[in-house]
């Protein structure tokens, strides 16, 4: 998979100033990376690969742990003064925003995340991390310390040529609204929570 850097700008945040880097894929998809400090010196870079979650990241939904995970990653990077967040535009485990809302409606009826996606005709998780690897390569990053609880993400990035030298646990506090979701991530996706 090939990507190109399409734009760069500064992004001041409550966690400090990041460089916001826009990427385009061959098929016209757009993704971004938030970078802080030096990351091209060859040392492993603290990295979070985060899939877009409009409901969690921007609308503060408590159905998931996405928003708090994004904020925690930004804080960890700010604390170290160095790191990258690869923000992938693959909403709803890759099924898109409207289908994600449809999956939420199925979850309201008692299904879990996996069952809801499958009843709608989708894979439990349709995300593709090859674009994340291509973005890191475009930034001259070959070795990372990956903030994740998802062993599949570690394997996918490794298979795509990124050396994951350490999995950094990235757990945030649960809420009464996302306990079933987190249990499903552990039981059906093998997340290390």
Domain ranges of the chain: 3-90+127-189
9 annotated binding-site participant: no
The band of 177, judged by pLDDT with boundaries at 50, 70 and 90, is: low
Radius of gyration of the chain (CA): 16
Separation between Cα atoms, residue 116 and residue 142, nearest integer Å: 36
> What value does the mean pLDDT take over residues 150-175?
87
pLDDT at residue 88 tops 90? yes
d(CA 174, CA 153): 21
Q: What is the pLDDT of residues 48-81, one digit of tens each?
A: 999 999 999 999 998 888 899 999 999 999 999 9
Task: Report the chain's mean pLDDT, rounded to a whole number.
Answer: 89
**Sheet arrangement for strand 45-51:** 3-13, 16-25, 30-36, 83-88, 45-51, 143-147, 163-168
Sign of the alpha-carbon dihedral angle for 174, 176, 182, 187: positive
Query: Is the pLDDT score of 184 beyond 60?
Result: no
pLDDT of residue 89: 95
Catalytic positions, written as ranges: 125, 127
CATH number of 3-90+127-189: 3.40.50.10990
pLDDT at 192 over 70: no
> Is 130 marked as a binding-site residue?
no
Predicted confidence (pLDDT) at residue 13 exceeds the cutoff of 90: yes
Q: Is the pLDDT of residue 178 over 80?
A: no
pLDDT band at 103 (very low <50, low <70, confident <90, very high): very high
Query: Any known ligand binding at 37?
Result: no
Query: Is position 92 annotated in a ligand binding site?
Result: yes
């Amino acid at each position: 998979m090939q990507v190109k850097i399409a734009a760069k700008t500064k992004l001041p945040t409550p966690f400090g100033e990041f460089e916001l880097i826009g990427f385009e894929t061959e098929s016209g998809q757009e993704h971004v990376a938030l970078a802080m400090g030096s990351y091209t010196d060859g040392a492993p870079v603290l990295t979070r690969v985060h899939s877009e979650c409009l409901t969690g990241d921007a609308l503060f939904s408590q159905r998931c742990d996405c928003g708090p995970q994004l904020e925690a990653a930004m804080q960890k990077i700010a604390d170290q003064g160095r790191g990258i967040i690869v923000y992938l535009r693959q909403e709803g485990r890759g099924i898109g925003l409207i289908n994600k809302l449809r999956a939420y409606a199925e979850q309201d009826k008692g299904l879990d995340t996996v069952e809801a996606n499958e009843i709608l005709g989708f894979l439990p998780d349709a995300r593709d991390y090859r674009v994340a690897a291509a973005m890191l390569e475009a930034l001259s990053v070959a070795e990372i310390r990956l903030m994740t609880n998802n062993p599949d993400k570690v394997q996918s990035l490794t298979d795509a040529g990124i050396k994951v030298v350490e999995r950094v646990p990235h757990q945030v506090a649960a809420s009464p609204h996302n306990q079933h979701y987190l249990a499903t991530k552990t039981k059906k996706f093998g997340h290390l929570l």
